[in-house]
A and B are shown apart, each in its own frame.
Chain A
Amino acid sequence: MAEGIRDKVAVIGMGCTKFGERWDASPEDLVTEAFEEALADARVDRADIEAGWFGVFYDEQNVGKSAYPLSQYLRLPNIPMTRVENLCATGTEALRGAVYAVAAGACDIAVAVGCEKLKDTGFAGLPERTKGTFEDLYQPNFTPPGAFAQLAAAYTAKHRLDMGDLKRAMAHVSWKSHENGAVNPKAHLRRKISIDQALNAPMVAYPLGVLDCCGVSDGAACAIVARPEIARQMGCDRFVAVKALQLAPSNGIEMGHRSWDGAHTLTTRKAVARAYAEAGISNPLADISLTEVHDCFSITELVLMEDLGLSREGGAVADILDGRYDAAGDIPCQIDGGLKCFGHPIGASGLRMTYEIYQQLLGRAGERQLQSPKFGLAHNLGGIPNRNIAAVSIFGLSG
Chain B
Amino acid sequence: MAAIGILGYGAYIPRRRMSRDAIYHAVGWAQPSLRTLASGRRAFAAWDEDAITMGVEAARRALRDLQISPDALCLASTTAPFLDRQNAGVIAAALDLSERIRTFDMAGSQRAAVSALIAACNSATETTIIAAAEKRPVKAASVLEMASADAGAAVVVGCGEPIAEFLGSASVRADFVDHYRTAQSGADYAYEERWVREAGVLPLTSKAIGAVLADTGVGVKAISTLIAPMANFRLARSIAIAAGLSPGAVQDVLTENCGVAGAAHPLLMLSAALDKARAGDLLLLIGFGQGCDAALLRVTAKIAPERALVARMLEGGATETNYLKFLAASGRLDIEWGMRAERDNRTAQTVAFNKSRDIYGFVGGLCTQCQTPQFPKSRRCVNPECAALDKQEDYRFADRNGVIKTFTEDHLAFTREPPLVYGNISFDGGGNVFMEMADFASGEARIGGAVEMRFRIKDVDETRGFHRYFWKAAPAAGGAGG
**A→B interface (CB under 8 Å):** 121-123, 125, 128, 130, 133-134, 136-143, 145-147, 149-151, 153-154, 156-157, 203-206, 208, 251-253, 255-262, 386
B420–A146 touching, CB < 8 Å: yes
Bound-complex Cα distance A138 to B355 (A): 11
B436 contacts chain A at the CB level, 8 A cutoff: yes
Bound-complex Cα distance A262 to B348 (A): 31
Given contacts A260-B432, A262-B406, contact A125 B412 (CB under 8 A): yes
A139–B434 touching, CB < 8 Å: yes
Find residues 441-473 in chain B having any chain A CB closer than 8 Å to their own CB: 447-448, 458-459, 468, 470
Bound-complex Cα distance A151 to B348 (A): 32
B165 → chain A closest CB, angstroms: 43
B248 → chain A closest CB, angstroms: 51
B176 → chain A closest CB, angstroms: 44
* 11 further interface pairs, Cβ-Cβ under 8 Å (given A123-B339, A205-B410): A123-B338, A137-B352, A140-B422, A141-B413, A146-B412, A150-B406, A154-B406, A206-B410, A208-B408, A258-B426, A259-B384
B461 → chain A closest CB, angstroms: 11
A137–B409 touching, CB < 8 Å: no
B433 contacts chain A at the CB level, 8 A cutoff: yes
Bound-complex Cα distance A258 to B384 (A): 11
A54 → chain B closest CB, angstroms: 27
B384–A206 touching, CB < 8 Å: no
A134 / chain B contacts, CB cutoff of 8 Å: 351, 355, 376
Give the contacting residue for B413; candidates A143, A153, A157, A259; CB below 8 A: A143
B375 contacts chain A at the CB level, 8 A cutoff: yes
Given contacts A136-B345, A140-B436, contact A262 B410 (CB under 8 A): no
B373 → chain A closest CB, angstroms: 9
Most buried by B among A146, A251, A260: A146
| Shortest Cβ distance from B382 into A: residue | A256
B458 / chain A contacts, CB cutoff of 8 Å: 137-138
B383 contacts chain A at the CB level, 8 A cutoff: yes
Bound-complex Cα distance A128 to B376 (A): 23
Bound-complex Cα distance A205 to B352 (A): 30
B411–A203 touching, CB < 8 Å: yes
Give the contacting residue for A258; candidates B355, B408, B430; CB below 8 A: B430
| Shortest Cβ distance from B468 into A: residue | A137
8 tightest A-B CB contacts, nearest first: A146-B410, A150-B406, A140-B422, A149-B408, A133-B348, A157-B447, A262-B406, A205-B410
A141–B459 touching, CB < 8 Å: yes
Size of interface on B: residues with Cβ below 8 Å to A: 53
Give the contacting residue for B374; candidates A137, A150, A154, A257; CB below 8 A: A257
| Shortest Cβ distance from A139 into B: residue | B434
A138–B415 touching, CB < 8 Å: no
A205 / chain B contacts, CB cutoff of 8 Å: 408-413, 419
Give the contacting residue for A142; candidates B358, B411, B422; CB below 8 A: B422
**B→A interface (CB under 8 Å):** 338-340, 342-345, 347-348, 350-352, 355, 358-359, 372, 374-376, 378, 382-384, 405-415, 419-420, 422-424, 426, 430-436, 447-448, 458-459, 468, 470
A386 / chain B contacts, CB cutoff of 8 Å: 424, 434
| Shortest Cβ distance from B350 into A: residue | A133
B413 / chain A contacts, CB cutoff of 8 Å: 141-143, 146, 205
A137–B422 touching, CB < 8 Å: no
- Can you offer 22 A-B residue contacts whose CB atoms are under 8 A? A134-B376, A138-B358, A138-B435, A138-B458, A141-B436, A142-B434, A146-B410, A146-B413, A147-B408, A150-B406, A150-B424, A153-B407, A204-B410, A204-B411, A205-B410, A205-B419, A251-B384, A256-B433, A259-B384, A261-B405, A262-B424, A386-B424
The DSSP consensus for interface residues of chain B is mixed
| Shortest Cβ distance from B409 into A: residue | A206
B454 → chain A closest CB, angstroms: 14
A253 / chain B contacts, CB cutoff of 8 Å: 382, 384
Most buried by B among A140, A141, A205, A262: A140
Given contacts A137-B468, A138-B359, A262-B424, contact A149 B410 (CB under 8 A): yes
| Shortest Cβ distance from B472 into A: residue | A140
A172 → chain B closest CB, angstroms: 21
Most buried by A among B339, B382, B424: B424
B382–A257 touching, CB < 8 Å: yes
Give the contacting residue for A257; candidates B339, B351, B384; CB below 8 A: B384
B398 → chain A closest CB, angstroms: 12
A262 / chain B contacts, CB cutoff of 8 Å: 405-406, 424
A258–B412 touching, CB < 8 Å: no
B358 / chain A contacts, CB cutoff of 8 Å: 137-138
| Shortest Cβ distance from B349 into A: residue | A133
B447 / chain A contacts, CB cutoff of 8 Å: 153-154, 156-157
A132 → chain B closest CB, angstroms: 9
| Shortest Cβ distance from A147 into B: residue | B408
B415 / chain A contacts, CB cutoff of 8 Å: 141
A206 / chain B contacts, CB cutoff of 8 Å: 408-410, 419
Bound-complex Cα distance A147 to B434 (A): 10
Bound-complex Cα distance A219 to B351 (A): 37
Most buried by B among A128, A146, A203, A256: A256
B372 / chain A contacts, CB cutoff of 8 Å: 257
A150–B423 touching, CB < 8 Å: yes
Given contacts A125-B412, A140-B435, A255-B434, contact A153 B406 (CB under 8 A): yes
A258–B352 touching, CB < 8 Å: no
Bound-complex Cα distance A131 to B410 (A): 19
| Shortest Cβ distance from B415 into A: residue | A141
Bound-complex Cα distance A136 to B458 (A): 9
A316 → chain B closest CB, angstroms: 17
A146–B351 touching, CB < 8 Å: no
Bound-complex Cα distance A261 to B430 (A): 13
B382–A121 touching, CB < 8 Å: no
Given contacts A123-B340, A128-B343, A262-B424, contact A137 B359 (CB under 8 A): yes
| Shortest Cβ distance from A134 into B: residue | B351
B408 / chain A contacts, CB cutoff of 8 Å: 145-147, 149-150, 153, 205-206, 208
A141–B412 touching, CB < 8 Å: no
Bound-complex Cα distance A130 to B406 (A): 23
B254 → chain A closest CB, angstroms: 34
Bound-complex Cα distance A147 to B426 (A): 16
A157–B338 touching, CB < 8 Å: no
Most buried by B among A130, A138, A253: A138
Give the contacting residue for B405; candidates A128, A141, A154, A156; CB below 8 A: A154
